[in-house]
Amino acid sequence: LNYIIVAPARFDSVIDHLRVNFPDEPLNASVGLCLHGTPCPLLEHHDMKTMEDGYSLMAIDKENDKIAGVALNGVSHKGDTEKAVEEMKDIDNLQYRRIFGLLNEANLELDLFTKYNVDKIFEVRILSVDSGYRGKGIAKELFVQSEAVARKHGFKVMKTDATSLFTQKVAESQGFWVEKTLNYHDFKDENGQKIYDTRPPHLYYKVMAKLLE
């Protein structure tokens, strides 16, 4: 496989890859924001914005030029989460609000910018491997290479909202530590029903970080 930066000419093929493969992400699978093979405008807007930062990586199969996996890496600046919370007020989509509401709230409370005294953080936002290529260490290699990109561009802090146990394992193997853990099944709606009925082994959302100095 070749691991390369996602150039603008490949943005649309990355979106095609994500439409097929990212709906398996545990939070998405539990609330049903994006369905397999179907456009998912709210998340795809977020994906495009992230790719425009220029730090995203893709693993390409040299044999057939197929995208085997991607790490969409973006830059978060101090104040971005507060802005996202404001913008969320204009978004009606309940599934989107449930996913990003959880992530935004956790990140607001953590405030890693103040904790580590930085004004920007390198974020692995979307990690996705084609279902035909999973279990071969591609996510791990995308993480290793993403860290190299972050170091090359002088970032001091790298983080990920690890919503899947598999991402948590990869991040832990790369020396990331847990900043915050939330148990999905603790969240209930007004009728006492689970809001995030994630399937085992994906029972926790962990915000994980690493200092790159």
Positions that interact with ligand ACO (CB under 6 A): 21-22, 24-26, 69, 124, 126-129, 134-140, 160-164, 166-167, 169-170, 173
d(CA 170, CA 137) in angstroms, rounded, equals 9
Q: Which is nearer to ligand ACO, 188 or 199 (CB)?
A: 199
d(CA 140, CA 174) in angstroms, rounded, equals 8
Q: Which is nearer to ligand ACO, 185 or 188 (CB)?
A: 185
Q: Which is nearer to ligand ACO, 112 or 189 (CB)?
A: 112
Q: Which is nearer to ligand ACO, 10 or 139 (CB)?
A: 139
d(CA 6, CA 2) in angstroms, rounded, equals 12
What burial class does residue 65 get, using C-beta atoms within 10 Å of its C-beta: 0-12 exposed, 13-18 middle, 19+ buried?
A: exposed
H or E element: which one contains 36?
A: none
Question: Min. distance of Cβ 191 from ligand ACO in angstroms?
Answer: 28
CA distances from 176 to 21, 69, 143, 182, 209 (A): 25, 21, 11, 17, 5
Q: Which is nearer to ligand ACO, 113 or 166 (CB)?
A: 166
Question: Min. distance of Cβ 2 from ligand ACO in angstroms?
Answer: 15
Question: Min. distance of Cβ 113 from ligand ACO in angstroms?
Answer: 19
Question: Min. distance of Cβ 80 from ligand ACO in angstroms?
Answer: 17
Q: Is the four-CA dihedral 15, 198, 81, 173 of positive or negative sign?
A: negative
Structure tokens at 2: 């070749």
Q: Which is nearer to ligand ACO, 188 or 212 (CB)?
A: 212
Residue 30 makes CB contacts below 8 A (sequence gap 6+) with 184, 196, 197, 198, 199
Question: Min. distance of Cβ 190 from ligand ACO in angstroms?
Answer: 28
Question: Min. distance of Cβ 146 from ligand ACO in angstroms?
Answer: 10
